[in-house]
Amino acid sequence: MKQCPVTHLTMNNGAPVADNQNSLTAGARFVAE
């Protein structure tokens, strides 16, 4: 998926990336991809 990191992470989790849990999960997923 070649989308903007912020948009992708926010949409993926359905919550602001400001959250620590969301940031970690989304960050790990983004790095994995």
pLDDT band at 14 (very low <50, low <70, confident <90, very high): low
Structure tokens at 5: 């990191």
Is the CB of residue 13 less than 8 Å from the CB of residue 28? no
pTM: 0.17
- Round the CA-based radius of gyration of the chain to a whole number and report it: 8
DSSP 3-state of 28: helix
Q: How many CB atoms lie within 10 A of CB 10?
A: 16
pLDDT in tens, 21-33: 555 565 555 555 5
Give the domain range for residue 27: 1-33
Position 5 scores a pLDDT of: 55
Determine the Cα–Cα distance for residues 12 and 5; give it in Å rounded to an integer: 10
Number of domains within the chain: 1
Tokens of 8: 């992708």
